[in-house]
Structure 1
Amino acid sequence: MTEPKRWLIGLDIDGTLVHDDGYLSPRVLSEVKRMRALGHHVVVSTGRAAANAYPVIRELGIDTGFAICSNGAVTIKLDSSNPKGYEVYDVKTFDPAKVLTELIDKLPNAHFAVEDIDGSYRFHKAFPTYALGDQNYETPLEELLHHPVSRVVVLSPDHDVDDFVGLMDKIGLQSVSYAIGYTAWLDIAPKGIDKGHGLEQLRQKFDIPGDRILVMGDGRNDIEMFLWAKGLGGYAYAMGQAPEEVQMAATAVTAAVEQDGVAEVLSALEGLQFLD
C-alpha cells in the first residue's frame, strides 16, 4: 500500500478493544489483523502503563510499530528482540510536587501513586491489584513528591465521578493535564500531554494525512484524542457504552464493546473515504 493511502488507527484498550474482564473478541482481533495486513498503522492508545498495555498488544498480534501509553506521556516502540517486547521510545515528565501537595490537602483519604520514567510505580496506599502492574513499590507519601514522573494517579474512595469532576474543577489543576475515569480515579499527565499529542507525533513520523485518522475510545481520557482527530479532518468513534460527554465529543457512536463496536467500524473503513 502506498503511504498516502495508509490510515493511522488509534485504539483505546479498556472498554474499547477489551471488555471489563479483559476479554478480546475474536471478531475484533480479526479486524485488527486485517487492518494491519492491509498496511494501515494500528496504534494502541491507552491510559495503561506500557507494562500493562503490552499483554493486550501481544494478544492483538502487533509486534512492530509503536503504542501510546500512560495517556500520551509514554510512547513505546515494539521490538520482538527485546526481552520485554518493547523499548521506551519517548517519555514526557513533570515535577509532581505542587499538584500532589494541593491534592493531598484537598483529598486527605485518597490513594496516591506516581509512574516513574522506567514505567514502575510508587504508591503510599494500596491500589487494586490490577491497576499498577507488576513493578510497584510502597513508599512514604513524602517520597512521591521529589522526582520527575510521567504520571500521578489518584484514587479517591470517598467520591463518585460527579463529585470528583466538581472538585477538580474547583482546584483548577492549571499546570498539568488530567482525565477522570468512570470511578473516582484521576490520571494527571504533563501539561498538554494526552493521547492525541502522542498520536500526532506518530502521524507526523508516518506522514499520514489528517483525513486518514481514525480513533476509537470510551473514556473521558479519550476526549482530547477525539478533538485532535476531528480537528485534522479525521474520524473519532465513541463506544456505545461511553458517557454522554464522550459520545458528544465524537464524530459518531458505534456499538458497545460487548457488541464488538471496534469491529463494526473497522469492517467499514474502506467506505469512510466516500462519506464526504
Structure 2
Amino acid sequence: MTDEAALPATGAVESTPKQEAADVVADLADDTRAGAVPAERMLIALDIDGTVLLEDDTLSPGVVEAVADAHIAGHEVMLATGRSWDSTHGIMRRLGIRPEYAVCSNGAVIMRRVGADDADEYELAHVETFDPTEVLTLLGEHLAGAHFLVELADGTRLFTDYLDDWNLEGANKVTFAELSDQPVCRVVVVAPEQTDQDFLELVERIGLTQVSYAIGWTAWLDIAPQGVDKSTALELVRGWLGIAPDRVLVMGDGRNDIEMMQWAVRNGGRAIAMHQGPPEVHAAAGEVGLSVTEGGVAAILRSL
C-alpha cells in the first residue's frame, strides 16, 4: 500500500502553452464578432441629418464603428431619409455600409442593392409620384419669394432659385411653371423669411390634404405623395427582408421621422429620438437618447 492518495484515472492531461491559449481565446472572440453566435436579425433604420450627421456635415461620434459592429452582429442597418438617392448614397459610403435597401425622399423612393453583399450598385425598387400642380400653385400664392425644388421619379431635381443649404450638383434650374410639367416624388419649399411655426400655421390654414408633408426645424416644407412617408417604405422593406415587426429599431430627430417612429412602436419595435429633437418627436418615439453631437446613435447600437 502506498502513502500517496489514490486518484481516479483521468487519462492523459496535456498542458497548453500560455501564448497558444491566448491565441485560442482571441480566435473565439473573433468568431463571435464575425457572427458565429448571431443575434436575431434586426432592421435598424437611421435618419441622416441630425441623427448620423451633424449640422457641420461631420458624422456623429462613434457612429461608423457602431454601425460596423451592428452589421457584423448580423443586423440590417440602413438609412431612411428625406434626402435624394444621390445624396443618400454618399452618406452610405461615408458610413461604410451597403444595405440591401435605402429609403429616400421621405419614403417616395426605395433603392435596392444589385449583386453581392459587398456590391455598391443600386437600382430603383419602388417609387411613388404625384401631380404637383395644385400644391405648387397654392404655395406659390401664399409664399412670395420662397425657393422651390422638385424631384422626379428618375432622381432628376429641378429648382427655381439657388439656396446655400441645398446641394444642387446635377440639378437643373427652371421656371416656377416648369416644376409642374411632370409627375414628381417630392416637393421641397424653403421660405427664409418664415419660421417653422409660420409654416405650421400656413399648412393648417390652406389645408394640404391631398399630399403628405413634414415641416423642418426652420421654414422647410417637404411634400410627398398622399399616404407616403418613411413608415410606408420601411414596411415594404421589412416585408421583403422577412424581419419580424418587433425586431425593428428606428432612430431620428425630425418631424419627418414621426410616422416611422409611431409605426415601429405600434408594431412592437423600438423608436429612439435624438435628445435635440422637438417635443413631438420625443413623444412619438417614447424613448429619448443622447444628442447627435454626443453620439446618440452609437450609444444605442452599442447597447444592443
TM-score, normalization by structure 2:
0.84
SS at structure 1 position matched to 2:262: helix
What are the Cα deviations for residues 86-140 of structure 1, in whole angstroms up to 9, with x where unaligned? Answer: 2222111001011111111111221111101121211112222x52442211111
Answering whether residue 257 of structure 2 is matched by residue 222 of structure 1, we say: yes
Classify 1:111/1:159 alpha carbon distance in 2 versus 1 (closer, same or farther; 3 Å).
Answer: same
Answering whether residue 63 of structure 2 is matched by residue 15 of structure 1, we say: no
Aligned to 2:134: 98
Code of the aligned partner of 1:208: I
Contact 1:124 1:140 in 2 (8 A): yes
What are the Cα deviations for residues 215-268 of structure 1, in whole angstroms up to 9, with x where unaligned? Answer: 000000000110110111111100010011111111200000011000111111
Aligned identity (percent) is 46
Which consecutive segments of 4 or more residues in structure 1 shift more than 4 A? 1-4
Aligned to 1:273: none
Aligned to 2:157: 121
Contact 1:3 1:208 in 2 (8 A): no
Structure 2 unaligned spans of 5+: 1-34
Answering whether residue 110 of structure 2 is matched by residue 75 of structure 1, we say: yes
Aligned to 1:107: 143
Aligned to 1:239: 274
Alignment equivalent of 1:180, drawn from 198, 215, 225: 215
Contact 1:17 1:24 in 2 (8 A): yes
Answering whether residue 240 of structure 2 is matched by residue 210 of structure 1, we say: no
Bigger mean CA offset, 173-182 vs 19-28: 19-28
Contact 1:63 1:79 in 2 (8 A): no
Code of the aligned partner of 2:104: C
Q: 1:23, CA displacement in angstroms?
A: 1.1
Classify 1:219/1:144 alpha carbon distance in 2 versus 1 (closer, same or farther; 3 Å).
Answer: same
Contact 1:16 1:217 in 2 (8 A): yes
Q: 1:183, CA displacement in angstroms?
A: 0.9
Aligned to 1:46: 81
SS at structure 1 position matched to 2:150: strand
What are the Cα deviations for residues 122-169 of structure 1, in whole angstroms up to 9, with x where unaligned? Answer: 1112222x5244221111111111210000110111211111111111
TM-score, normalization by structure 1:
0.92
Code of the aligned partner of 1:97: T
Q: 1:171, CA displacement in angstroms?
A: 1.3
Aligned to 2:70: 35
Contact 1:4 1:209 in 2 (8 A): no
Aligned to 2:96: 61
Code of the aligned partner of 1:93: T
* Alpha-carbon distance in 1 for matches of 2:125, 2:99: 13
Contact 2:68 2:96 in 1 (8 A): yes
Answering whether residue 172 of structure 2 is matched by residue 137 of structure 1, we say: yes
Contact 1:76 1:90 in 2 (8 A): yes
Q: 1:85, CA displacement in angstroms?
A: 3.8
Contact 2:113 2:120 in 1 (8 A): no
SS at structure 2 position matched to 1:183: coil
Classify 1:17/1:248 alpha carbon distance in 2 versus 1 (closer, same or farther; 3 Å).
Answer: same
* Alpha-carbon distance in 1 for matches of 2:82, 2:170: 17
Over aligned residues, Cα RMSD in angstroms? 2.1
Classify 1:254/1:26 alpha carbon distance in 2 versus 1 (closer, same or farther; 3 Å).
Answer: closer
Q: 1:3, CA displacement in angstroms?
A: 10
